[in-house]
Structure 1
C-alpha cells in the first residue's frame, strides 16, 4: 500500500494500549498521557512512526531473543550435566522408561517357553557331504563336495584353498555336516566339534584360524583329526587306536572320549624320551587283541613297529580280518579276478574262492610326487607287533616319499591336495590293481617343486558313481616317458 493509505490506517485504528505503547515510546512522541484500554494515534505520532528506520524497529525484539537465548543456554548446560553424570543419566533414562510403561504398558499376552517339538539348531542344518581342509598354520574350512568335479587320472587339478606362501594343507577328509569330529593337537589334547559348526568357504578361500574356534594354547596346532559315527549309541562298542611317528601304538575304549569338554582334554602325553614324538594317526576299530586296552590317556602306548634309520610312520589304517593263511592267500593271488594273466585253475574250492573275492580289500598308496598304486591287502602278510614290516611301494626316487596309505576300492574316488593348494578329485576306476612291490603310476600331474601333501578317499553311492568324465571337461596332461615301474601296470593307461 502507499504511504498515504498507511497513514490513514494508523490514524483511524484504535490500538490496544499494550500493543502500541512500545512504538510511542520509541518515537518519543508522547503528546498526552496514555490511559484506558485503547489509544488513537495523533498525526504527529503517525508521521514519526512512518519515519522510523528498519534497524530501530528490529530492536523491539532484542529482549525476546535474549530471553530465548538464555533459556537455550540453561537447557544445554542441563543436558551436558546429565551426560557427564552416569547416575543422573540412568535416573533420566529410568524416568523416561517408567513414563512410557505407564502410558503404553499392557498385560503380556504370550508365553516364552521351550519349543514343544524339541527343535535344535542342528535339526535345521541340511545333511551334505563336505570336504574339510586343515593347514599347518591352523586354518580350517569346509567346502561342499559338489564344488570339486571329477577329473581323469593324471589331471592337473584346480585351486582348492588360498594359502600363504609358507602355509600348506596337512589334513583333508570328506564327511557329512552332521558328523562329530575329534581334533587332536600337537600338545596331545583332543577337542570335539561337529562339521556344520566349521566355517564354510569356497574352493579359493583360506578359511578361519582354528584358534578362533577351539581354545588352543600358544604354539598348539591340530596334528590329526578323526570323524566319528553320527550315531552316538555305537560309540560304546568302538575303540580308538593311536599311532605315533616313532612307531608306538595305543588302544583306548571310545568311552574315554565320549565326553570332551569345551576346553578339550588330554589324549596323549609326550614326555621324557618321547618328547620329540608326535601323533600321526588315529582310527576307530571294533576289535583288537594284539594291543592291550589302556585305561590311561597319558602314555604313548607300546611299540607297534620297529623303525630303521630315519624311517617314520606316516599313516594308520584299519583292515578287517578275513581268516586266511599264507597258502590260501598265495593260491588266490595267482588267480585273482584283477590279474591279467592266469594259467590253470586255482587250488581252492569255488565257494572259498568266491568268499575270498567278496572279502578282498585293497590298499591305495599315494606318494608326494603324484604317483601311487592300488594293491590287494592279501599281499600284506600279518606280522607280530614290533616287526620291521614289508615293502609297500618301489622307486621312491621317482615317486617321492609316501604320504598316505589306506583301504580303497575301484568304485571310490580320490581327493588329493598339494602344497600349492591345488586339489584334484579323480575316480579310481582307471587305476588297475598291481603288485605290492610295484612302482605305481601317475595319479596327479604336479608342477615343478609341487608335492602332494594330503589324500582322502570318497565313498561313492550308486548314483554318484556314474561319473561321465566327458561331460565334466576333463583336464588331462601327457605323461613323460614311461619308467620301469609303470610297466607293472598291465596295459596302457587310457585316462592319460
Structure 2
C-alpha cells in the first residue's frame, strides 16, 4: 500500500501519541462494561421488578396506545419502536424480552397479551413478523399515572426522547413474577410468588412496620410457580427469605391411576418450573435404555388445550407405582432444584435482599408514587380552582367586564385593566379574555359554582391526605387490595415438608430406599382443614400418640385414620365426593409433639379447584365398616364398603340441588347417628336403622327439619364414646354480620338427649334468649371439646353439665369450629 505524497503547501499534521498503561486501561474499560451490564441490562430494579428492556417495552407499548381494549399489532412494530427510540441493543434481545412478558408458563402474572406462537417450554417462539401483541390488563397497573409526575423521567440514549427511570408498579412485580439474569461477577434468580399472598404480606407490613420474617411468612409461605408442582422441604425457602439465598426441591404433581382394568399408570399433571414434557420424556427413555429405570412400559404425552398438561407413564404389571415414581424423581426432571439468589438494584447498587427487604423497598416506592401523585393532583386542582374563581367573578359582573374589554386599545391593556379593576391574577385575566359567549348563561354559572365546590372538597381531601403519613400508607394498602382482587388467582404450587430424595446415591442404595418399609401411621385432619401424619415404626403401638400439654393453633381434630404411609385413603368432601390420595407426602409430625398447625392445607394437597368444597373426613378404602353421611337437608346415607370406584375421585352420594354433605364418619352398625340442626333440634338414632347403599344412591330421610332450618352437624358415635360424649351448641342472631356476634355457648352431656326414631324432628338442644334465633356452631363428640376461631386460634368454652334445653353462656370471642382432642 502506497502512501499519498505530502502536499508541501499544507501544514504538517501534528502527531499525538499518549503513553497508556495497558493494565489500567483494561481495568477501567472492564469496570465500565461491568457497570453497564449490571445497571442497564441484567439486573432488575427492586422497585418495579423490571430490567431496562422490559420497562422500555411496557412504556413504549403504553405510549403507542396498545391497551387491552385495543387490537393487537405486529410484534415487529413494537420491537422497532423500542429499538429506535429507547433501547439500541438489537431487535433479538427486545423480542426475547417481549416474548417472556407474554408467556403464562414463565410469569405468574403475564404483562403482555400475545397473539400467535409465543413458544412453549420445549419450543421457541415464531419470528416477530408472525406474532402480535398488546398490553395485558395487569400491565396497565404497572404504567398507570405516568402522566401525573409520579416518577422521574430520564433522557434516552441520544437525548431525543424521555423515558421513566422506574415504573409506578401498582403490582409488586419483582416478587410476583420473579427474575433471572447473569451480570458480570453476579447473577440473580428470583422465584415467582402468588399475587394475593404478596399483597397481604405488604399490607401487613404497612400496618405493622416492625413485623418480622415469621409474621410475613404466614402470608407468603413460599414461591408459587406458574406451572404448579410441589415444593418439598421448606427450610431452603426460609433461608432465602431471611438472607436472600437458598435452595429447595420442586416436584411434579403426579397421581397413580388405573389406565385399564389391570394396568396402573402415573399421570403427571404439573411439572417443575420451566421443565417441559419433551425433556422429561427424553430423560425417561434414556434411563430405560440404560436400564437405570425399571418398571415402565410406555410414555404418552396427552397434553392439549382442553385438558392441559397430561403425561401418562405406563407401569409394568407387578411393579409398585410409588417405587417407580421415586426412581423418576431421582433420575429425571420430575424432581428439580431451584436456587434462589435475590439480587436486585437498590438506589442503583446491586444488593442481596430477603423477603422483608424486598417488601420494604417496594412499599417505600409505592408511598413515594402515591405522595407525588397526590401532590400533582393537588397542584392541578388548585390551578383549576384559581381559574374557576376568576371566571365566577367575571360572570357575576359580566357587563362591566365587557365594557372594560371594549374600551381597551389592545389585549395587553385589556388584561392589565381587568387585573386592576377586579383584582385578578394574570392567569385569571387571560382566561377571561378567552371566554366564549356561550359560557355567559345562567346554567354555566351554576356549573362553575358546583365545580368550585367540588374542587374545594378535593383540595381539602388531598391536603389532609398529604398531611398524614398514616393515611398515605392506608391508601397504598387499599390500592394493593384492589390489585389483588382484580388479578389475584389461587395458589398453584403445593408446599410440603416431605424430604427430597438424596442425590448421588449408588444403585444399591437406590434399591434399598425404594424398598423402604410401608410404616404404620396416623393421619390427622383438623377442623380448620390442615392435614398431617404421625409415623410409628413397626412394633410400636400406633395408638400411643402423645397429647401435647399445651394446645396450639389448628389442633382441634375433625377426623383421624390409622393407616400406613403408602396405603391409598379417601377424603370425603362437602360436594359428596370421595377423593383418593396417599399420605406419603404429607408433613410428618413428631409423635411426642403433634401440632397440626405445621400441617398442610388439605385443599391445596388435593388440589381442589372449587373454593366452596370442603374436606369433612378421611376414610379407609379397605375397611369393612360403612361410611355414614349426613347432609344439610337432613338426608342420611351409609355407603356400603367394597364398592368404591377405581377413579381418582367419584361421588359417594347423589345430592339434591342446593344440598351438601355436612358430616362423614366411618362406623359400624352399633354406632349412634347424631344430627344437630340450626333451629337447635338434636336427633340421634341407631346406625342399624339405615341400610347401607351403593355409591350412586341418594340416601334416605334422616332428620325432619322445620321451615328455614338446616343441619349444622352430623356424626356417628361408637358405644365406647357415648359415655364421655358432650354436645356443644352456640346460639346467635342470624341478622348479625357473620363473625360479629360471638353468641352464647352451652356444653351438655349426651345422656341429656333422649333418642328418637329416624326421620323425626328430635328434641330441643338449647333455649334461645332474646335476639337469638339460630345456632351458628354445633358439635357432638367425646370430651374435652376444643373450640377454634377462624384463624385457628384457641377459644374457651363453658364447663360441661348444662341442662338439655338451657340457654347458653355469652362468649368473649367468635368460635368458628369445634373438634376433638389429638390422641
Query: TM-score, with normalisation over the residues of structure 2?
Result: 0.29
Q: Which has the higher contact order (CA 8 A, sep 6+)?
A: 1
Is the helix fraction higher in 1 or 2? Answer: 2
- Alignment TM-score, normalising by the size of structure 1: 0.45
